[in-house]
Structure 1
Amino acid sequence: MAEKRGVTIRELAQAAGVSIGTVSRALKGQPGLSEQTRSQVLQFAQQLGYDVGKLRTGKPRRMLFLYSRHVGSLASNPFYSYVLHGAETACREAGVPLSLMSVQSGEDIAGQVRRHEADALLGAGYFDPEAMEAIRRCELPLVLVDHFYPGVRCVNDDNQLGAWLATQHLLEGGAMRVAAIYGPPTHHSVSLRAKGFRRALFEAGRLFDPDYEVTLDPVIDYRESGREAMRQLLSLPERPDAVFAYNDSTAMVAIELCMEQGLRVPEDIRVIGYDDIEEAARFRPPLSTVKMDKEALGHVAAGALIDGDIEPSNSALPVELVVRESSRIIERPVTADTPVRKARRQPPSAIAADRD
């Protein structure tokens, strides 16, 4: 006779009319719930025969850091290396072992997670819907970094405000034809950075011209895709005099192509990136960028899992504009590497951060 399948935490949450995070808090006896809600969850758990032993009390015994294989290795994508380091620091401080696993759609993600014996998951970067559903089916506490998914605790930087600050800086320097290079529009951070770019143009009274926005071709090599995007912009009848790139790696590739074609940066074309990876300050010319505390993203996410703070929400950590040589305003020089505007709050007429 087949063994009867036990009730899952998702089914318990649906029966009680609450989120999975609320069920987890109630069964673990964690604070942040009313006694009425806690009693309601416990009552449904008893009625449905839910195995409370599935949810271990206290901090996780082992955390698993997940990232999508499509982003490449962590060595080739330094942004997530910083996020991983922040998560590892939080886990080490709490005495929680952290392991690492890359995933992609079509794999037995649940089986791989079980082999790691993890009881908490930290997902970094974009996961396509199929992979995301597979991760959710693991029914373990989950926090996402640099991604958004309904019903999940998410930790991001203020992408929309950061792109607004970068574009506003280019406009304030007198740029008349500001262009943008984006990554995949399905990525949460990329879509918000596009919104911030367009909002800055709108508030400056500039007409939106789709020819001045280029998306990287996902089919070809990443570096060549960045070069091709910049080549496309330079081939316009009126080439841009300033470019916002959605990340630093793309910005540096774009600058290399400009210089190969005899353009001076920033004298002929000003360029700014996003992320403030370590190479940005060492690049020639040093790259202007939007800075966020990348390690803090990982530290906050891991800390939320350790503390059981997994109620669905979308945190936005602060960002900061850093002006270096690549976007220097020739008429009004600024000190290299000096933050010129901190994102302590949004400008009055600027951005309402996306909290979908």
Structure 2
Amino acid sequence: MPRKKKVTLSLLAKQLGLSVYTVSKALRGLPGMSEETRKEVLQLAHQLGYLTKDQENSLIYEGIPRLSVKQRRFLVITSSDISSSPSIQLLFQGLKERMFELGHKIDLAFMPDSLPAQSFPSWMELEGLPYADGLFITALIPRPLEALLLELKMPKILLNFPPVGAKVDSVIWDVHDATRQSVHYLTKNGHRDLLYFGDVDRTRGYKQRWLAFVEAMKQEGLPVREEDHLIHMPDNQVEWVDTFKRHMERMKPTALLCATEMSLAWIYYALSETGYQVPQDVSLIRLDHVHSSFIPGITHPVLLMKETGYRAADRMLWRLANAHLPYEHIRLQGPFFEGDTVKKLI
């Protein structure tokens, strides 16, 4: 029986048509290449199962076997509206790829937003929660139902900012740092009149974004009044556009910070209704990093959604092997993409 060909840097370089040095730099996260090239290297390395020595050592250090003798099954608990959340889709993709790589299985379990507490046990049995090896709980779960999930005596990873005193590990992309990067980038380019819009009531992550915005504005010496920003968003498109237009006419901002996963078409329609063009009349930064063919060059902090899934998978396997150790809360910090939707005023 022929032996499987060992995956080496030379093999990766040959398949990609790059030098071994370039491939090595890409895998180590060093500068000196385009992000497109780096992405191609990482994708092929993942596809062929190549790990750097540091990655091998990390698995050993955290007690995570590359190939498990026993296949485990995990569930991602999310609400039924996952189709409207590109971030959750990327998160699940990262989880699925990482668990498959390590020899495990992961599935989705949908929890209706309106599920009564008395129906929770029957829903749990129907979705097979008692037979799973662990749960990943997304930010889309309503808080009362999330509290019931957190009470379950089984390994759990919260894919959200944790509630106070929660006895659970959490892994999330760092929207706090991303928001502060965005405010700093705008003020560095001469913008002082900023309009923030994003519903702070939807999840703890959205609340974190607003708190980070307030903190960053104060550090820049800029005043913040809640009534000047759109932090309680109507769901109806017509109402939202009308509210947005009133804020634009009253505040006359030079820059907008969009902190919600809303359609960019809404934003551009509302801007056109008020006579604004991006970036000639008003600059725009979007906090949710989901590629948009509508505005491919939009300025944004890079939120590591798929990478969060990878890290959460590793944390789950670590928790299974270290049930007695303290809970940990992990935030993944990403870089900042300087697109073409922010105009320099200085």
Same fold, TM-score > 0.5, yes or no: yes
Q: Is the 8 A contact 1:60 1:305 kept in 2?
A: no
Amino acid at match of 2:289: D
Q: Is the 8 A contact 1:216 1:226 kept in 2?
A: no
- Cα distance, 1:255 vs structure 2: 2.9
Amino acid at match of 1:327: V
Amino acid at match of 1:256: Y
The equivalent of 2:307 in structure 1 is 296
- List gaps (5 residues or longer) in structure 1: 1-30, 33-56, 332-356
Deviates more, 1:125-134 or 1:289-298: 125-134
The equivalent of 2:172 in structure 1 is 156
- List gaps (5 residues or longer) in structure 2: 1-60, 63-67
Q: Which string of whole-angstrom CA distances, capped at 9 and with x for unpartnered residues, describes residues 286-315 of structure 1?
A: 311111221111121122222325642211
Select which of 126, 130, 133 maps to 1:119: 133
Whole-Å separation in 2 of the counterparts to 1:320 and 1:248: 19
Q: Is the 8 A contact 2:198 2:233 kept in 1?
A: no
Whole-Å separation in 1 of the counterparts to 2:336 and 2:261: 13
Q: Which string of whole-angstrom CA distances, capped at 9 and with x for unpartnered residues, describes residues 45-83 of structure 1?
A: xxxxxxxxxxxx9977210111134xx2x3321110000
Counting aligned pairs with the same residue, the percent is: 15
* Helix, strand or coil at the partner of 1:258: helix
Whole-Å separation in 2 of the counterparts to 1:294 and 1:217: 24
Select which of 84, 88, 106 maps to 2:116: 106
- Cα distance, 1:246 vs structure 2: 0.7
- Cα distance, 1:152 vs structure 2: 1.0
Q: Which string of whole-angstrom CA distances, capped at 9 and with x for unpartnered residues, describes residues 189-227 of structure 1?
A: 112211221122112211223232112435x34x55653
Counterparts in 2 of 1:1-356, with a 5 A limit? 61-69=72-80, 72=81, 74-103=82-111, 104=113, 105-106=115-116, 108-115=119-126, 116=128, 117-149=131-163, 150-185=166-201, 187-217=203-233, 220-221=235-236, 223-224=237-238, 226-236=240-250, 238-247=251-260, 249=262, 253-279=266-292, 282-284=293-295, 286-307=297-318, 308=320, 311-329=326-344
Count residues in correspondence.
269
Q: Which string of whole-angstrom CA distances, capped at 9 and with x for unpartnered residues, describes residues 312-334 of structure 1?
A: 22111012221212223266xxx
- Cα distance, 1:179 vs structure 2: 1.0
Whole-Å separation in 1 of the counterparts to 2:210 and 2:260: 12
Q: Which string of whole-angstrom CA distances, capped at 9 and with x for unpartnered residues, describes residues 219-252 of structure 1?
A: x34x55653452232131x421111111353555
TM-score by length of structure 1 reads: 0.68
Whole-Å separation in 2 of the counterparts to 1:147 and 1:67: 15
- Root mean square deviation of aligned Cα: 2.7
Whole-Å separation in 1 of the counterparts to 2:329 and 2:121: 25
Q: Is the 8 A contact 2:71 2:103 kept in 1?
A: no
The equivalent of 2:56 in structure 1 is none
- Cα distance, 1:94 vs structure 2: 2.0
Deviates more, 1:266-275 or 1:253-262: 253-262
* Helix, strand or coil at the partner of 2:170: strand
The equivalent of 1:346 in structure 2 is none
* Helix, strand or coil at the partner of 2:135: strand
Against the structure 1 CA distance between its residues 299 and 112, is the aligned structure 2 distance closer, same or farther, given a 3 Å change threshold? farther
TM-score by length of structure 2 reads: 0.70
Whole-Å separation in 2 of the counterparts to 1:146 and 1:100: 17
